[in-house]
Amino acid sequence: MPVPIVALDFQTASEALAMVERLGDACRFYKVGSELFTAAGPQVVETLRSLGSDVFLDLKLHDIPNTVLGAARSAAQLGVRLLTVHASGGQEMVKAAVEGAGEKCGILGVTILTSFDAPGLGMAWGRGKVDVRREVIRLAGIAHMAGAHGVVCGGREAGALGRKYGPGLRLLVPGIRAENAPADDQKRTVTPAAAAKAGATYVVLGRMVTRAADPRSAMLAANLKPDAG
């Protein structure tokens, strides 16, 4: 059963913390991404930690190895449990992130964003045809070789990654939607149940929870077990 992580994609700390209060014990793990971190900074991470929640800092770092090492070290000092870097930054960069993060903060390598489908990716990369699954497997290999805790992937690729790299490479799956719900800007969506079946270690629940009329009910309907890890 994957650990659910709710994405606090809000403009202010007060909106984010109001959502945490509404969810109560239905969620113990929160994702702080670039929107909230840019607005509210490390303080919001510290507040979430003081409330007893685990924090996934989703900054999707991509820079020279020395800079990424420093950023990962700073994130680990804040007490975050998970931090993302782009696997396409290369093995040396991901390795630097792992070194900077130390034992207590797991580095996740982002493979191909779930907002991409094959034509969109081909366009972005200036290539006619791109096999998304093949690229996800290739990029996950970089993260694996670099000693990352895991990777971020679409639910549709999770099964293949589990078979290829085994349980040592954890799988975090965003782009989660209830059956027949609108995909918004996401392209490679799956239901919570499909992500669980594919072997996801963690799932990120975003708008399907935070934009629901009743977020707590939407969270409980996903039928996942909250766990502070």
Query: Would you name the residues annotated as active-site residues?
Result: 60
CA triplet 54, 56, 60: central angle to 5 degrees? 170
- Residue 192 as a binder of ligand C5P (CB under 6 A): the answer is no
Provide the β-strand partners of residue 202. 3, 172
Rounded CA separation 58/161 (Å)? 21
Q: Kindly state whether residue 32 participates in binding ligand C5P, applying the rule CB under 6 A.
A: no
Which has the closest alpha carbon to 208: 179, 180, 178, 185?
178
Contact 20, 195 (CB under 8 A): no
Query: Is residue 6 close enough to count as binding ligand C5P by CB under 6 A?
Result: no
For residue 192, which amino acid is it? Answer: P
| Whole-angstrom distance, CA of residue 68 vs CA of residue 95 | 10
CB closest to ligand C5P, residue no: 206
The reply to whether 48 sits near ligand C5P by the rule CB under 6 A is no
Q: Are 4 and 224 in contact (CB under 8 A)?
A: yes
Find the shortest distance in angstroms from Cβ 229 to ligand C5P: 18
* Residue placing its CB nearer to ligand C5P in the complex, 114 or 201: 114
The residues, ordered by sequence, that sit 6+ positions from 222 with a Cβ below 8 Å of its Cβ are 4, 176, 178, 192, 203, 205, 208, 209
Query: Among all chains, which residue has been given the structure tokens 């202010």?
Result: 12
Query: Binding to ligand C5P by residue 207, rule CB under 6 A?
Result: yes
Closest distance between ligand C5P and the C-beta of residue 176, in Å?
6
Residues 103-162 touching ligand C5P, rule: CB under 6 A, are 110, 113-114, 152
Q: Of 48-56, 137-145, 168-176, 217-225, which segment contacts ligand C5P by CB under 6 A? A: 168-176
Stretch that binds ligand C5P, among 130-138, 163-171, 172-180, 221-229 (CB under 6 A): 172-180
Residue 204 in the binding site for ligand C5P (CB under 6 A): yes
Of 53 and 186, CB closest to ligand C5P:
186
Point out which residues bind ligand C5P (CB under 6 A).
Answer: 7, 9, 33, 58, 110, 113-114, 152, 174-176, 184, 186, 204, 206-208
